[in-house]
Amino acid sequence: METLVELNSTSKRTRVVARLGDTVVLRASLPPLVSVRHSRAVTTLLEALSLWTDGRLCVALSAATLDDCFRFGLTDELGVGARSVYYEVVARAPRRRRLGADALEGSR
């Protein structure tokens, strides 16, 4: 069974959600990538999850800036996701916040 890991990094935090099939097996709220000092922190986390689940991870990466993703080895200079025996990263554009009906009413 394939393990999907979602990494969503904003300026305030990094959310990690790991799913094994349809089951969520891990949820974490970590400091933002900007505040992480060690360059191998993220890749080591992914490698550990891969070893724990005994399979290659499919990692969906969403980050505010590509600079941090490149610095941590998750993408190359062009934003293409990294590959290793432990994981494959697919970089995607960050989600935009949806405005509720109340917010739309106030903008008119």
Superfamily holding 3-95: 2-keto-3-deoxy-galactonokinase, substrate binding domain (3.30.420.300)
Q: Contacts from 89-93 at CB under 8 Å and sequence distance 24+?
A: 89/59, 89/61, 90/58, 90/59, 90/60, 90/61, 91/61, 91/62, 91/63, 91/66, 92/60, 92/61, 92/62, 93/62
Q: Where are the domains of the chain?
A: 3-95
- 31-85 tens-digit pLDDT: 988 888 998 999 999 999 999 999 999 999 988 777 778 888 888 888 889 999 9
Look up the pTM and report it: 0.79
